[in-house]
Amino acid sequence: MKNNYHPKPLGIILTFLLTFGSSVFAGFVASIFISKVYWGYYFNPPELPKQVEEIDKISSITPVSSIKRNDGSRIFKIDTSNSCIKEIQSGNLDGEEDCYREQCDTEYCNYNRILISLNQKGKLPQKSGYISPDKLNNLYNYLESTELLYKPAPGYNGELIADSTNNDLYSISDGKRLNGIVVEAEDKNKQPLLFIAVKGGQVSNDHYPYYEFLFKIPKNESTPKLIANNRFFYDIAGVEGILAWQSIWIFFIVIGAILSIPMTFLLIRMKARILENKSEQLAVNSEQ
C-alpha cells in the first residue's frame, strides 16, 4: 500500500523544536554533571561554610604549610613566607582584594577570604598569636582522617617516578603538600572552633585542590569533630573558561542543533512508517 502520509510544515517545526529542546535540556544536565566531577561544584564555587558566621572570638591565626617527614608522614609547620595576615588585620587591604593570588584568578581559592569576611564584620583582631606547637603537629592527621583530601594521580603524590626515556627519577608534583591558614576561634557559647583553609599542589596536570574545614572541639575531648567543609578545584593553565559549565553547555547546544536536523527527519519517517503499518493492518482487518 502506498504511503500517503505527508508531514505538514508546522509538524516538522514542532518535531524539530521538541528534538532540539530535549538536546538542550540533556546538554544542561550533562554540563553541570561534568562541572561537578571536574571542578567539585555544579555552577559556582561555594561560599564560606555558613557556620563560620557563628564565630565570635578569634584565639589565633597561623599561616602554615605542610612538610613530608622521612617516615612518609606529614605535618604542618608555621610558614610566614607568603602570609598577608598582618596586612588584612591592619586594614591595609581593600575588603575585596586578595593580597596573594598565587596565580589563581578567582577569589574562591583565596584561603584568606575568611579573614576578609571576619574583618568586614568587625570580628578580626588587629593582633593575634599562633597556634601551640603540640596542636599544630596533629592538624594534618585531622585532615587526613576526614578522608576528604583528594587522592592525586600517579606522579602527583610527591613520589619519585622513572622517566620513560632514561629512567631518571623525578617528581611531577605533590598534591598532598598543603599551605594556608589555621584559625582558632570560639562561638557565642564559648564552643571552641577550628577553621583550616588550605590549597594543595597539583593533583593532575594544572589541576589544584582547595579545601576548607570547620571543626568543633567537644568538651573534655582533644579530637576535633568536623561540622562543615568545602572542597573544589581550580586550574592554572590559561584556558580555564573552556571547561566552565556554561561553555560546555554551549558546546552541547551546538552539537544538539546539528544533530536535531537528521533526528527530526528520522522521527518523521518513523511516524510515517507507523501510520503506514496501521493503515495496512486496518485494510487487512476490513478484508477479513
- Clarify whether residues 23 and 154 are in a common domain: no
Instruction: Tell me what pLDDT residue 280 has.
Output: 58
Same domain, 126 and 28: no
Does a structural domain hold residue 208?
yes
Which range marks the domain in which residue 54 is found?
Answer: 50-240
Domain-ending residue, one of 221, 240, 259:
240
Does residue 133 carry a pLDDT above 50? yes
Segment 167-175 shows an average pLDDT of: 69
Whether residue 137 has pLDDT greater than 50: yes
Distance CA 57, CA 43 (A): 33
Q: Is there a domain that residue 166 lies in?
A: yes
Residue 142, domain member (yes or no): yes
Would you say residue 1 has pLDDT above 70? no
pTM recorded for the entire structure: 0.78
Same domain, 91 and 119: yes
CA gap 40, 210 in Å, rounded: 10
> Is 213 a member of any domain?
yes
Are residues 178 and 112 both part of a single domain?
Answer: yes
Residue 3 lies in a domain: no
Phi-psi region of 48 (alpha: psi -120 to 50; beta: other; left: phi over 0): beta
**Are 171 and 283 contained in the same domain?**
no
Is residue 1 included in any domain, yes or no?
A: no
For residue 223, what pLDDT band results from cuts at 50, 70 and 90?
A: confident
What is the arithmetic mean of pLDDT over 265-272? 74
Residue 29 is assigned to a structural domain of this protein:
yes
Rounded to an integer, the average pLDDT of 135-160 is 86
Q: Do 64 and 134 sit in the same domain of this protein?
A: yes
Containing 280, the helix (H) or strand (E) segment is helix 245-287
Distance separating alpha carbons of residues 170 and 53, to the nearest angstrom:
44
One domain for residues 133 and 276: no
> Do 249 and 236 share a structural domain?
no
Q: Give per-residue pLDDT as tens, 99-132.
A: 555 545 565 668 888 888 888 888 888 888 899 9
Q: What is the band of 15 on the pLDDT scale with cuts at 50, 70, 90?
A: confident
Q: Does the pLDDT value for residue 57 go beyond 80? A: yes
- Tally of structural domains, the chain: 2
Domain end among 240, 256, 277: 240
Indicate if 79 and 165 belong to the same structural domain: yes
Question: What pLDDT is attached to residue 95?
Answer: 42
Quick check: is 160 in a domain? yes
Q: Contact, 41 vs 232, CB < 8 A?
A: yes
Q: What pLDDT score does 139 carry?
A: 92
Give me the mean pLDDT over the 251-272 stretch: 81
Which residues, 6+ apart, have CB-to-CB distance to 70 below 8 Å? Answer: none
> What is the model's pLDDT at position 197?
93
Question: Which bin fits 172, alpha (ψ -120 to 50), beta or left (φ > 0)?
Answer: alpha
Verify that 215 and 185 share a domain, yes or no: yes
Based on the domain organization, do 82 and 152 belong to the same domain? yes
| DSSP bridge pairs for 216 | 193, 225
How many percent of the chain have pLDDT more than 70?
78
Look at 179 and 167; give whichever has higher pLDDT.
179
Mean local confidence (pLDDT), 39-60: 89
One domain, residues 235 and 249: no
The mean predicted confidence, pLDDT, of the chain is: 80
